[in-house]
Structure 1
Amino acid sequence: MDTIPMTAAGYAALEHELRHCQQVERPRIIQQITEARSHGDLSENAEYHAAKESQSLNEGRIAELEDKLARAEVIDVSKLSGDTVKFGATVTLIDEDTEKKHVWQIVGEPEADAKNGRISITSPLARALVGKKKGSQVEVVTPGGAKAYEVLNVEFR
């Protein structure tokens, strides 16, 4: 069983989602199924089939979350230090073409959220950054073409 590296915040977010799926969504969907059943003939009952589909998706998500939480290896980023990029690091980069600054935290796959500045340890950018230090140049091939960055800062918060 492969472990999944994760920050404490990422683990807590998955636990919260699991509780929501189990304690809020599951009872709500069961109620929908019960109501739809009371409408009679199930073979032509779109509400019933939609509720059963929702139930299937919710139960699948619960199983997925339970698996990820069971395999989680929580890493306390606040106890990490050093000047080398590794899991948990918050890295400030400057795009060498546009001079635009980007700040990314390298996190586990289940908690990655690029819109909020968290990229997966398995992403091409994170793989290129791991092992680099402040001042290093990094080139990454992205779907939009090659990008060149300079590492401005590495910190653990």
Structure 2
Amino acid sequence: MNKAFVKEPSGDDGDDDEAPGLPPLPPGTRNYITPAGYRRLREELMSLLDVERPKVVETVSWAAKNGDRSENGDYLYGKKRLREIDRRIRFLTKRLDIAEVADPSAHHGRTQVFFGATVTYANAAGEERTVTIKGIDEADSLGGEVSWVAPIARALLKAHEGDEVALVTPAGLERIEVVRVAYPKPAAS
């Protein structure tokens, strides 16, 4: 095969460090994350380093001793899985290094929208929706969580209960009203 058609990995590419499905951080922004989200990402990193990676390395090592590597499924799959694990480890390490843990319980009892708030808002038709504003790496849209850089979160941030804010949607400008703002209670010491 002609070398012109072989993709060579480059150290400065950066694309291989991004996890599939997760958006890159917008330039010049901070990587805010809740304490629970930070803990979850840290646990995933430690599990990859202490449990999963050593198991795969052991399998690859065993498979390499079995002879012809070009037709050895355990070896080929193991090497591929090892690259995936290493990519995820690099991604998590970078994101955790720049993470700024922001505890939403510090705002408990306030009615202004900040990072970590659970906000109920109503559109012009009176339909209510509730979202929790979380970090980019921890937001789960199926669970009613949105990233703090999402359009809805950006529209809601710094608003107070009762405020009407403008939300830019594909259908045009929509006016929404902040109905309720809640934060988790501080942990008991």
Partner of residue 122, structure 2: 94
Aligned mate of 1:75, from 102, 107, 116? 102
State the secondary structure of the residue aligned to 2:137.
helix
Q: Distance in 2 between matches of 1:46 and 1:140?
A: 52
Q: What is the aligned length?
A: 155
Q: CA deviation at 1:75?
A: 1.2
Q: Distance in 2 between matches of 1:133 and 1:42?
A: 63
Q: 1:155 to 1:20 in 2, by over 3 A?
A: same
> Taking structure 2 as the reference length, what is the TM-score of the superposition?
0.72
1:9-88 correspondence runs (5 A) = 9-81=36-108, 82-88=110-116
Query: How large is the RMSD of aligned CA atoms in angstroms?
Result: 2.2
> Is 2:150 the counterpart of 1:123?
yes
Q: 1:39 to 1:104 in 2, by over 3 A?
A: same
> Whose relative contact order is higher, 1 or 2, with alpha carbons under 8 Å and at least 6 apart?
1
Q: CA deviation at 1:65?
A: 0.9
Post-superposition CA distance 1:95-151 (Å, at most 9, x none): 44472x3221111111111112221111111011112221233443446x4555322
Q: Which moved more, 1:1-10 or 1:126-135?
A: 1-10
Partner of residue 105, structure 1: 132
Post-superposition CA distance 1:11-52 (Å, at most 9, x none): 111111111111221022112212322332012323312211
Partner of residue 24, structure 2: none
Q: Distance in 2 between matches of 1:50 and 1:148?
A: 52
Amino acid at match of 1:50: Y
Q: CA deviation at 1:71?
A: 1.1
Amino acid at match of 1:89: A
Post-superposition CA distance 1:60-118 (Å, at most 9, x none): 1111111111111111211125322121111012344472x322111111111111222
Matched-pair identity in %: 36
Q: CA deviation at 1:56?
A: 0.8
Which is strand-richer, 1 or 2? 1
State the secondary structure of the residue aligned to 1:43.
helix
Amino acid at match of 1:24: V
Amino acid at match of 1:107: K
